Amino acid sequence: MSEFSALYQDYAPDVYRFALYLSGRHADAEDITAETFARLWASSEPIAMATVKGYDALDEDLRDPSAGPERQAEHSESLRQVLKELQRLPETSRSALLMRAVDGIAYEEIARALGISLAAVKVKIHRARLALVGLRDA
């Protein structure tokens, strides 16, 4: 029980963040996070701690102190555009890109997690990046 509790405390915020990137909706992200940990709790398999990705603690306030309101508004609009474009990507491509770019997961691990070939992972990530670069250049 304490192992599960510690796992939840350590990883629920990251699961929620990842689910929010995937779904684009807070309510869906909350549901996905709850479902993830409910399945983990109900699983008869032991928790494979070696496969749980570790995260460094981050400062809660990561804003640039020199950024003024205009700059912040530009960043907010850019972020909205990127998140909107992410939602247009197929779910597998979006998952692969986020696993690699946000979490730094190895291509091989992504392939295993998504149940696709290593080559398919590389293609999906490459195409997703091209879609987002096209947004930046537009």
Where do the structural domains in the chain lie, given as residue ranges? 1-56, 69-138
One-letter amino acid at 135 equals L
Q: Which residue has the tokens 């807070």?
A: 26
Of 115, 98, 118, 116, whose CA–CA distance to 107 is shortest? 118
At residue 18, does pLDDT exceed 50?
yes
pLDDT value at residue 21: 83
pTM, full prediction:
0.52
pLDDT value at residue 51: 57
pLDDT value at residue 52: 56
**Which residues, in sequence order, are CB contacts of 84 under 8 Å at separation 6+?**
none
Distance (Å, rounded) from C-alpha 102 to C-alpha 98? Answer: 5
Query: Do 99 and 113 touch, CB atoms closer than 8 A?
Result: yes
pLDDT value at residue 55: 43
- Answer CATH for 69-138 from 3.20.20.210, 3.40.190.170, 1.10.10.10, 1.20.120.450: 1.10.10.10
At residue 107, does pLDDT exceed 50?
yes
Q: What is the mean pLDDT of residues 113-132?
A: 93
Q: How many helices (DSSP H) and strands (DSSP E) are in the chain?
A: 6, 0
Q: How far is CA 130 from the centre of its chain?
A: 18
Judged by DSSP in three states, 43 sits in coil
